[in-house]
Amino acid sequence: MPMTARSASRIGRALAACAVAFLLAACANAPSAPDAGARAALAPTGKLRVGLYRGSPTSYIAGDAGGEARGVSHDLGRELAARLGVPFEPTVFANNAQLLDAVKAGTVDVILTNATADRKRFIDFTDTVLHIEKSYLVPAGSRIPDAAAVDRDGVRVGVSQGSSSQKELAAELHRASIVPVPTLKEAGRMLAEGRLDAFGTNNAILFEMSDGLPGSRVLPGRWGLETFALGTPKGRGDGIRYLQSFARSVRSDGTVARAVAKAGVRGTTDRE
């Protein structure tokens, strides 16, 4: 049936309306352009110092034999530096406790971490960009069936020293003993050598550790949930306003999802 001029006009108006709606939605999710105040607040040295720690796919995994590093925080930091128009300077620490000390000292500018109440005392956070469940990794041959069965007499549960998990598990576990461990690499060794019966943290780290421990497994069930957000040291007013805009943008435009996939992050959830 041939199209009449009136039909063509209606279709044209409909397409134009759709285009306007699409552009409005895109503009609503686009980050505001960084002004001089935001740039100076987030990168006071002229470079964006992104705080990272080794061994976590949410933060930083070094590349093998010259390969590219990966990590959600690493990739989001690089994207943020590009949008700010400043050099990207990854600042890598051995563990999360050292990284948090650097935030307190103001020697890093941006961090992606679990936005706990304690950390909100010295970090201004954006909205949540990622939820990750918390459970335990157990070595080959372990008879512990699930997360609910970990709290037993004689069970030694490792935690990253100075982590939010250390404090949370102190309230969660009443019979098992908690063993602070300085690095994730050392935690893997202790599990393999039988010096730990389980290690508790977020599942993204646990699955990454499990890949290097034959026969180990992440227990079903969860004892907690981490809500990851971007943050900057308190007092950088223009910085947190732009960072909030950036966080909303990278969630809606797929940048976070691509960083999660590239880093091989497992254990994410939409359930709070």
Which among 59, 81, 103 has a CA at the least distance from the CA of 231?
103
Alpha helices in 30-107 (DSSP H): 36-42, 72-84, 96-105
Q: Which residues contact 4 (CB under 8 A, 6 or more apart)?
A: none
Place of tokens 């063509």: 8
Let me know how many helices (H) and strands (E) the chain has, helices first. 9, 9
Q: What H or E segment, with its residue span, contains residue 160? A: strand 156-160
What is the pLDDT tens value at each position of the chain, 272 positions in all?
Answer: 455 555 445 544 544 444 444 434 444 455 556 688 999 999 999 999 999 999 999 999 998 766 789 999 999 999 999 999 999 999 999 999 999 999 999 999 999 999 999 999 999 999 999 999 999 999 999 999 999 999 999 999 999 999 999 999 999 999 999 999 999 999 999 999 999 999 999 999 999 999 999 999 999 999 999 999 999 999 998 899 999 999 999 999 999 999 999 999 999 998 66
Q: Cα separation of 131 and 271, whole Å? A: 8
103: buried, middle or exposed (CB in 10 Å: 19+, 13-18, 0-12)?
Answer: buried
b/e burial code for range 125-146 (CB count within 10 A of at least 16 → b): bbebbbbbbbbbbbbeebebee
Q: CB of 200 within 8 A of CB of 165?
A: yes
Q: Given this model, what pLDDT does residue 49 score?
A: 98
Q: Given this model, what pLDDT does residue 145 score?
A: 98
Q: Cα separation of 265 and 270, whole Å? A: 14
- Neighbour count for residue 109 (Cβ, 10 Å): 27
Q: Given this model, what pLDDT does residue 270 score?
A: 80
Give Cα 103 to chain centroid, integer Å. 16
pTM for the full predicted model: 0.81
User: And the tokens for 1?
Assistant: 């049936």
Q: Which residues contact 61 (CB under 8 A, 6 or more apart)?
A: 54, 55, 69, 70, 71, 208, 263
User: And the tokens for 68?
Assistant: 């590219």
Give the CA radius of gyration of the chain: 22
Please state, in angstroms and as integers, the Cα–Cα distance from residue 188 to each residue in 41, 53, 205, 271, following that order.
38, 16, 11, 28
Q: Cα separation of 112 and 7, whole Å? A: 52
Q: Given this model, what pLDDT does residue 10 score?
A: 52
Q: Given this model, what pLDDT does residue 14 score?
A: 46
